[in-house]
Chains A and B, each alone.
Chain A
Amino acid sequence: MKVEPTLYGDRKVYSVAAFNRGVAQWLTRLPTLWVEGEVTELRRQDAWQTVFFTLKDPESGASLAAAMPRGQFDALRLDLQNGERVHVYGRPELWEQKGELRLRALSIERFGLGAHLAALERLKAALAAEGLFAESRKRPLPRLPRRIGLVTGSDAAAKRDVLTAIQARFPPARVLVAETYVQGPRAAPALVDTLRRICAEPEIDVVVVARGGGSFEDLLPFSDERLVRAVAECPVPVVTAVGHEQDTPLCDLAADLRASTPTAAGRLVVPDLEELMAGLARARDGLGRGTRRTLERHSARLTHAAERLRRAPVLLVERRRAALAQAGGRLRALSPRSTLERGYAIVRRDGELVRSAGTVSPGEAIAVEVADGSFGARVE
């Protein structure tokens, strides 16, 4: 059909339909060719004559609408799923009613299964071999960070969840928030740049990287080698909370700690203020108690020493007395008096000891000494 303009004087004016028709006709001159991309937004319904899907370039994020007659699509028996990488043979065409460009698919071939997943697995293995994910690299989080860095998208939920969790647990927290792209081709370099900049800020002791849930594709920047390396090399510990529990982007493996949700990340980076206060009060009590105990011990030792000192002279006298009594006893045991006490007597004549019966004669006066005294006597 020929495209006819309406003439207003010397101005040629086309209707929208005519313009679209003209462009559509011009497009038919372009060649039929192969396009590689990932299938997303696949829409196939039995009631529809056409199957629609979007081809996406995972590296740049560029997308292209594509369509194929349902009969043809079903005949391929591909059982295509979103996320699969395909080669599509087709030609550009214009959907005239809307003036929208799309790829008219004539054939579809599956190109490897989950090319991304395979590439990710290779990258993961290479980085793991380098030791980037090693447990020994993980650093403990500071108990009380002076300032917390938060790298997040402008997507309100993740940011709000982290901040709410931090403030509920530790109201005096200081947080520096840096918003950046968290999906699309610009996200990885922007995240790397933001992470470096936030770490360069004074007093940042820990960084949280948070992003809400999203499709596998949306989360791809968080598996980008540049970001994974930046997280591993970050001068302060990094906590990641990216996507949902079941997603494990590679940056999670390089992080010092992985949180299941942004809220969990918030709770991990600050201590509980009330617990901290209670612990501090206990420490202070301990300080007073410990000092008192130390001083009391010294005091008790001093008292003991003083008592021993006071008792010393008494002990000395007692000891001497005992020694003296013992000496007296021994002395007494040796003296002749003890012999007299057993009934013996000492006999003297003119002061001389009488040792033999032959030395005395009858009528002589003698002196007899017994234990308790002496008396005179005459020899018969």
Chain B
Amino acid sequence: MTYEDAERELLQIVERLERGDASIDEALALWQRGEELYRFCAEQLEAAEGRIEELAKRVDANRPGG
């Protein structure tokens, strides 16, 4: 799942819940799913440590057996 997928689904769930027309079981399941998605997104933002890497030059590339 990408961040975008999670964010899109989360917003759909919020919209559905705000309409207030879901059944109780549905509402609780949606809420639970929404919290999972929220945690996923938040972790993506918090866990990622900014990093700049350099792609090895082709000549340096270690390619055993050619």
Contacts and interface: CB of A to CB of B under 8 A. Distances in A.
Interface string B25-66: 001101100110010011011101111111101100000000
B14 A290 contact: yes
Contact of A178 (B7, B21, B55): B55
A201 to B, nearest CB: 7
A1 B1 CA distance: 83
Contacts of B19: 290
A273 B7 CA distance: 14
B27 to A, nearest CB: 4
A173 B14 CA distance: 27
A290 to B, nearest CB: 3
Given A287-B38, A290-B20, A294-B22, A280 B45 contact: yes
B53 to A, nearest CB: 5
Majority secondary structure of chain B interface residues (helix, strand, loop or mixed): helix
A276 B46 CA distance: 12
A167 B51 CA distance: 9
Interface in A7-59: none
Interface size class of B (residues with CB under 8 A): 35 or more
A287 B52 contact: no
B3 A177 contact: no
B44 to A, nearest CB: 7
A142 B46 CA distance: 18
A286 B14 contact: yes
Interface residues of A, number: 41
A137 B24 CA distance: 44
A235 to B, nearest CB: 15
Nearest to B42: A280
B55 A286 contact: no
A174 B51 contact: yes
B10 to A, nearest CB: 5
Contact of B4 (A142, A167, A170, A174): A142
Contact of A172 (B27, B41, B49): B49
A369 to B, nearest CB: 72
B54 A287 contact: no
Contacts of A284: 34-35, 38
A173 B45 CA distance: 9
A338 interface: no
A193 interface: yes
Given A283-B10, A289-B17, A291-B17, 6 more contacts: A173-B48, A205-B2, A280-B42, A289-B18, A293-B17, A294-B22
Interface of B: 2-4, 7, 10-11, 13-22, 24, 27-28, 30-31, 34-35, 38, 41-42, 44-46, 48-55, 57-58
